[in-house]
A and B are shown apart, each in its own frame.
Chain A
Amino acid sequence: MAKVPPEGEHPVKAFGWAARDQSGHLSPFNFSRRETGDEDVRFKVLYCGICHSDLHSIKNDWGFSFYPLVPGHEIVGEVTEVGSKVNKVKVGDKVGVGCMVGACHSCDSCKNDLENYCPKMILTYNSIYHDGTFNYGGYSDTMVANERYIVHFPENMPLDAGAPLLCAGITVYSPLKYFGLAQPGKHIGVVGLGGLGHVAVKFAKAFGAKVTVISTSPSKKDEALEHLGADFFLVSRDPDQIQAAMNTMDGIIDTVSAVHPVLPLLGLLKSHGTLVMVGAPDKPLELPVSPLILGRKMVAGSGIGGMKETQEMIDFAAKHGITADIEVVSMDYVNTAMERLAKNDVRYRFVIDIGNTLAATKP
């Protein structure tokens, strides 16, 4: 029996851009979305951030991509319809959806508002939903999601600059809180100044911490100190700078997804400090064990956050005026944006102006 084409799979037409194969080249794509169920929220997508994960996915870097693939998990817009059992939001509200659209809701992780660690967690795109159909992400005109996965955007939060917080924001906010770094007086290191790193600096400063940006690029110093308000800047390849900062940090958020040496970073930690990896290098890192033992130090991983915490993060960001630094692009710029992203040529997140530029690309 022939597989139902994406356009006919669901009752409501949808339009977006998809990658068709591992070249990762995105182009206009007609598909469909389910009707608004009792617990669903439907919204018109206004903006969608481009996350580095989108780039990895469209190129099948992780080996589990299925095509056509519509990426996008930093999705914001305006509610157009809510199911009969929805209480969280109403038509006209500004909302967002991040990296997840489902989970089991019965395991320990789900019961602790940690849907992101549920073994049956469903990603926003390139995954299978409860009804067996394939999930399409936010490079599209509309989105439907279960209420639990909808984040309410406060009035004072700009939609375009707030969109990246739905992935980048929660990815750094969650470990800052969980590992006890979200407190005044802590000294936090941030490795890498990109989409994740720049937001980590902003959140850490808002928590009252002292922040050192650790980078391989000396050229980012002014940016870190003047623009983002970091307290110090360290070039990680300079042994003297590393030496001078040994044993000074309570924690380090490492956003770098390339393979890099861990030993100097462990040296920067005070005893009982934690190095939190939020970037995922595709090859294993070398972990020297003695520094962990001698200083009771830890290396931990963290992946996004649960929905309750994501809402808390957005509310915190709104209260403290924290948004991502973005470059708004039109839908048809997306392939160029991806090429620039591969070279880290963006300060610091592309956001697609879906609301104003997607419709014009319909063939």
Chain B
Amino acid sequence: MAKSPEVEHPRKACGWAARDSSGILSPFKFSRRATGEKDVTFKILYCGICHSDLHMVKNEWGVSTYPLVPGHEIVGVVTEVGSKVHRFTVGDKVGVGCLVGACRSCNDCSNNLENYCPKSILTYGAVYHDGTTTYGGYSDIMVADEHFVIRIPDSLPLDAGAPLLCAGITVYSPLKFYGLDKPGLHVGVVGLGGLGHVAVKFAKAMGAKITVISTSPNKKTEALEHLGADSFLVSTDQGQIQAALGTLDGIIDTVSAVHPLPPLIGLLKSHGKLIMVGAPEKPLELPTSALLLGRKMVGGSCIGGLKETQEMIDFAAKHNITADIEVIPIDYVNTAMERLVKADVRYRFVIDIGNTLKSS
């Protein structure tokens, strides 16, 4: 018989969980494992709210099990390390992103691409090596295998750095893999939300010229003045699209709603790449001749491996890149979720766990 979450593990923990697909979160007592030899335990200070959290609490992907404690943009301060832990000590500022486990032996794991391991274990809503459910960062403490812990440099603020652990790596990884990280390239970013705004910042830091592509004309000033994009295109405006055809080396498409691909493919130069990092729930129409005529491609990308996540955090610290955030107390979380549905946030909510989630 399964043990209740509270007694499953030896160490008490508290957080907020969704109990069903209404997605409403409320206080939840559970437990975490004792610090194993290779584990790092840390007191959580902040946790970003990712759109995936919203999908998961509402079971929109059909894979959720309840109670579900979301949160995979988790940062805090180390309180205990296992005997075989080498990279961290008590007091270090650390973070955990979307993964807490993988097989560590497949081809992808051997190439530091744990995110593509068929046995990768998500930070929440998944089953850990010991058979227990993983609970995420809307909670007071976190225990994770050292391999999956990221060091946060002192110069990077914890609250504004937290979203980089998911949103940041999600856009950083494809910018590098698809060769869009070279100075002088012209990169498009579709959608100006949690992923999009960080994509603009990273791509600018890599030396690219940026065009923000959006359905909302009212985001223009934001894109150009605040985020430093070089130009702005309304994707539903034929004239604007026409004028920019064949100008982009690559596009990072962060939009998860169904949307037309042909205008985006048209914006690409030949040999250009359209990279999907948002996942529409229905297939999109792909006109193949548009790809053939310019040897263009549509690719996907999903977060990044741990080595690359650390590299991304270090790059962000060096270039002063953080997310634009709205810090909220834990008891605002349900309202935050409602606002997130309407994309009413500039650009990521971050829960101030340290100051507002009281341990029982």
Which positions in A face B, CB cutoff 8 Å?
Answer: 109, 114, 117, 119, 178, 247, 262-263, 271-272, 274, 277-281, 284-303
Complex-state Cα separation, A293 to B116, whole angstroms = 10
| Residues B247-290 near A (CB distance < 8 A) | 261, 270-271, 273, 276-277, 279-280, 283-290
Q: Is the CB of A289 within 8 A of B279?
A: yes
Chain B residues closer than 8 Å to A178, beta-carbon distance? 295
The A-contacting residues of B in range 294-310, CB under 8 angstroms, are: 294-302
CB atoms of A302 and B292 under 8 A apart: yes
Q: How far is the CA of A286 from the CA of B294 in the complex (A)?
A: 20
Q: B329 contacts the other chain (Cβ, under 8 Å)?
A: no
Q: Are B288 and A297 in contact (CB under 8 A)?
A: no
A292 engages B283 (CB within 8 Å): no
Q: How many Å from the CB of B292 to the closest CB on chain A? A: 4
Please, which residues of chain A bring their CB within 8 A of the CB of B292?
Answer: 277-278, 280, 301-303
Bound Cα distance from A293 to B118, whole angstroms = 13
Please list the 9 inter-chain residue pairs (A to B) with the smallest Cβ-Cβ separation, ordered nearest first.
A301-B291, A292-B300, A300-B297, A301-B292, A293-B300, A298-B299, A287-B286, A286-B283, A284-B285
Residues of A within 8 A of B273 (CB): 298
Q: Are B291 and A295 in contact (CB-based, < 8 A)? A: no
Q: Could you tell me if B288 and A301 are in contact, using CB atoms closer than 8 angstroms?
A: yes
Q: How far is the CA of A278 from the CA of B289 in the complex (A)?
A: 9
Instruction: Decide if B288 touches A292 in the complex (CB within 8 Å).
Output: no
Interface residues, chain B, with chain A CB atoms under 8 Å away: 108, 113, 116, 118, 177, 246, 261, 270-271, 273, 276-277, 279-280, 283-302
The residue on A at minimum CB distance from B291 is A301
* B276 contacts A289, C-beta separation under 8 Å: yes
**In the complex, what distance in Å separates the CA atom of A301 from the CA atom of B276?**
16
CB distance A294 to B300 under 8 Å? yes
Chain B residues within 8 Å of A292, by CB: 276, 298-300
Q: How far is the CA of A263 from the CA of B276 in the complex (A)?
A: 16
A296 lies within 8 A of B288 (CB):
no
Q: Is the CB of B271 within 8 A of A117?
A: yes
Q: Which residues of B contact A281 (CB under 8 A)?
A: 288
**Do residues B271 and A289 form an inter-chain contact, with CB atoms below 8 A?**
no
A299 to B301, CA, bound (A): 13
Known: A293-B300, A293-B302. A287 touches B293 (CB 8 A): no
Say yes or no: B116 contacts A272, CB within 8 Å: yes
A247, closest chain B residue (CB)? B118
The smallest C-beta distance from B275 to any residue of chain A, in angstroms, reads: 9
- Residues of B within 8 Å of A297, CB to CB, are 299-300
Whether A287 contacts B291 in the complex (CB less than 8 A), given A272-B116, A292-B298, comes out as no
Please report the C-alpha to C-alpha distance between residue A288 and residue B138 in the assembled complex, in whole angstroms: 32
Q: Which residues of A contact B177 (CB under 8 A)?
A: 296
Establish whether residues B298 and A287, one from each chain, have CB atoms under 8 Å apart when the complex forms. Answer: yes
Bound-state CA distance A156–B111 (Å) is 44
Contact of A287 among B261, B289, B294 (CB under 8 A): B261
Cβ of B286 and Cβ of A284 under 8 Å apart? Answer: yes
Q: In the complex, are the beta carbons of B279 and A293 less than 8 A apart?
A: yes
Least CB distance from A343 to B in Å reads 23
Q: Which residues of B contact A294 (CB under 8 A)?
A: 116, 300, 302
In the complex where A289-B279, A289-B280 touch, is A296 in contact with B297 (Cβ < 8 A)?
Answer: no
A-chain residues with CB within 8 Å of residue B276 when the two chains form the complex? 289, 292-293
- Inter-chain contacts of B289 with A (CB < 8 A): 280, 301
Rounded to whole Å, the gap between the CB of B122 and the closest CB of chain A is: 12
Residue of A with least CB distance to B106: A271
Interchain nearest-CB distance for B284 vs A (Å): 5
Q: Which of chain B's residues have a CB closer than 8 A to the CB of A295?
A: 116, 300
> Given A117-B271, A285-B286, A299-B286, are A293 and B291 neighbors across the interface (CB < 8 Å)?
no
CB distance from B2 to the nearest CB of A (A): 29
A298, B289: Cα distance in complex, Å: 16
User: Given A271-B116, A289-B283, is A300 in contact with B296 using a C-beta cutoff of 8 Å?
Assistant: yes
In whole angstroms, what is the CA distance A12 to B271 when docked? 40
CA distance A294 to B285 in the complex (A): 19
Contact between B116 and A289, CB atoms less than 8 A apart: no
Residues of A within 8 A of B295 (CB): 117, 178, 300-303
| Closest chain B residue to A274, Cβ basis | B297
CA distance A274 to B284 in the complex (A): 18
Q: Are A299 and B291 in contact (CB under 8 A)?
A: yes
A301 with B300, Cβ < 8 A, contacts A272-B116, A284-B286, A296-B116 known: no
